[in-house]
Structure 1
């Protein structure tokens, strides 16, 4: 009987508590409210933290950029989530620039791609495109341009999506790798508010892209205006693919 008791005791020891998953990387999310983007914050936080639990990575959430006052080294990537980048203080901007020059990585979502002209040229070049304006929110066909990139894996070749399709320019002549575009024949690029002029971009209208900057990786998606979008499974798959590549550099086939 004694050998059987020993085996039983060993089995109980091995199965007494499940092993905790070790975080694969740390992500810093800066989600500061702005005039038109604030309702998304609790919804996005709940969804992104759920993704972190499901996929074994750690999330630090900040509404004001305070983590930039400390050491950014432990973070595999910094996500600017609908955050007006120009609201960061000069010292915090310099620390983020140093982080990227040291091999840090950045992800930029929707409103965070907008920075007033000459407010922070370094950041504008990091984004890779400069914001002009956007038509009213409309339903359109988003097109998959690079099926090899993780942020497109879960998306169809043509995806019906409703958003603000930003118009951008490339004054710094930054080379980007577009992964999503929008078909301008599927919506009205000129439908805009009085006093503004809606100018179509034509066939070359990127909505998400990646590139390298300083010594780091950068992923940008211009999608993500409304709070309910952060409950949408396909959109969250899009964000997850961007997070995974930005933080690890993996996933491109």
Structure 2
């Protein structure tokens, strides 16, 4: 094989590989941004959660990008995503321009997923409180409890039993948005609730707000939650719904 033939063959191989890569890229269902910035308490489970979300993306054919850089939150950058996943964020993490970019993102019909302490975020941003559905109030020590799956007609709960025994840090909430659709509640008779919420204690919900969609789960405090198949299916169903916006019968 002469040099000209070799180079032609080599370039053809590179072209095939490039086209194959582009085809694979284009087959992703949607694109998710995982944002895990904290300016309050930082959960030890965040790295485990980020790794689990990357695996979820690989196994379920969607694209994912992770960052803790709030300067990445711009109109231009967010335009390329279908869903933002707030991975146990805490505190005041966005400036005024970044808040506007997120509002535009939601108003354009896109989705937000909040995991665990996403409700412990941006207390002074009323729009976000309405969107996410509540604000963190308190929690007792980590315990095992019975969760009631009150709506199994959602991708995040299709697979769950009506009574789900789970161990976690059980959040109670304030400023709860009554317009959300509650998926899971905590049975306060099955654990030491202390200053809980009483007979109606939401733990996971969806919300269609200001043109977009929110899925929130209060679960996910521990490292090992992100190794649990039921929990990761719960997360995947929420991400899929928030990103795609398909109706759920």
Q: TM-score with structure 2 length normalisation?
A: 0.84
3-state SS of the aligned residue for 1:189? coil
1:231 aligns with 2:227: yes
Give the C-alpha shift of residue 24 in structure 1: 0.6
Aligned to 2:134: 129
> What is the alpha-carbon root mean square deviation over aligned residues?
2.2
Deviations, residues 120-139 of structure 1 (Å, cap 9, x unaligned):
11111111123221112111
Matched pairs, number: 228
Aligned to 1:177: 181
1:82 aligns with 2:78: no
2: CA distance between counterparts of 1:34 and 1:141? 31
1:54 aligns with 2:59: yes
1: CA distance between counterparts of 2:140 and 2:130? 23
Deviations, residues 168-190 of structure 1 (Å, cap 9, x unaligned):
1336x540110011111000111
Question: What 5-or-longer segments of structure 1 have no aligned partner?
Answer: 1-16, 191-197
Q: Is the 8 A contact 1:139 1:161 kept in 2?
A: yes
Aligned to 1:65: 70
3-state SS of the aligned residue for 2:72? helix
3-state SS of the aligned residue for 1:20? helix
1:161 aligns with 2:157: no
* Alignment map for 1:1-253 (pairs within 5 Å): 20=24, 22-33=27-38, 36-69=41-74, 70-84=76-90, 86-115=92-121, 117=123, 119-170=124-175, 173-190=177-194, 198=195, 200-250=196-246, 252-253=248-249
3-state SS of the aligned residue for 1:139? strand
Aligned to 2:10: none
Q: Is the 8 A contact 1:143 1:158 kept in 2?
A: yes
2: CA distance between counterparts of 1:79 and 1:223? 14
Question: What 5-or-longer segments of structure 2 have no aligned partner?
Answer: 1-19
Q: Is the 8 A contact 1:149 1:251 kept in 2?
A: no
3-state SS of the aligned residue for 1:74? coil
